[in-house]
Amino acid sequence: MKKIFQWPLALCCLVLFSQSCKKDYYVDGGKANPIYNGTIYDYLTEKTMYFDTIKAIVDLAGMKDMMTKDTITFFAPSDDVIRDAMNLVNLNRFIAGKDSVKISDIGQEVWRKFLGMYVMKGKHTAGTFPRVSYNNINAFPGINYVMLDGYILNIGLEYTTYNGVEAVGPRILYVTDITFDPTNFRNNPRVRVVSSDIQPKNGVVHVLSIQHNFGFRTDDFLRIALDYLNSKD
């Protein structure tokens, strides 16, 4: 598994938008074939550049069978998101005078709790989600979905403006954590899907932007991970 606790050396990214060293997923959807001849777990295993650490967390969380056999939709965070979360955990442990940790030092129940936020039962391609408009949420509210272990996220397609004409531009899939403030979407953390409708044999993978905090709110994962680690020290 790749080391995730050291900043990578500068490299030439294939993606035009990547002037930093983080990986990104801006791709030309074009007429690319969305069908993947394997399971979701196989897909994560093959795409080591993006999901090496995510695949390892799937194993640690005891979710391999689910990613292999069950029909699910996976809103996949990238390895960079986990790296940032673990760097924050280790920074806090350093400040407290404690040793740094690896992902394998964090318990199964923690990884299951947070990775489960990104899994829906059933197959849901982007076009099956309703419209959401953050400027007119009363008219276009998206819809709330119950994720794997009961966590509720709002998911919807934003219809963008093109050449000054409203709602005729590209449609962008967003996932919003409404638990922070159920009354005001603008206060809630949300993440954009940057590559949608990848379709392995047992479901769908939507890849999330690297501009995202694991678990949607940094403090949540940090607090629970530190509590677990402190209980083992």
* Residue 200: closest CA among 4, 66, 13, 68: 68
Tell me the C-alpha distance between 66 and 124, whole Å.
Answer: 16
Q: Enumerate domains of the chain plus CATH numbers.
A: 40-231 (2.30.180.10)
pLDDT in tens, the chain (233 residues): 443 433 333 333 333 233 333 443 333 444 468 999 999 999 999 999 999 999 999 999 999 999 999 999 999 999 999 999 999 999 999 999 999 999 999 999 999 999 999 999 999 999 999 999 988 888 999 999 999 989 999 999 999 888 888 878 889 999 999 887 777 777 889 999 999 999 999 999 999 999 999 999 889 999 999 999 999 98
pLDDT of residue 44: 97
* 115-145 CB burial, b ≥16 within 10 A, e <16: bbbbbbeeebbeeebebbbeeeeeebbbeeb
Decide: pTM greater than 0.95.
no
pLDDT of residue 126: 96
pLDDT of residue 13: 33
Give the phi and the psi of residue 175 in degrees, each rounded to 5. Answer: -120, 125
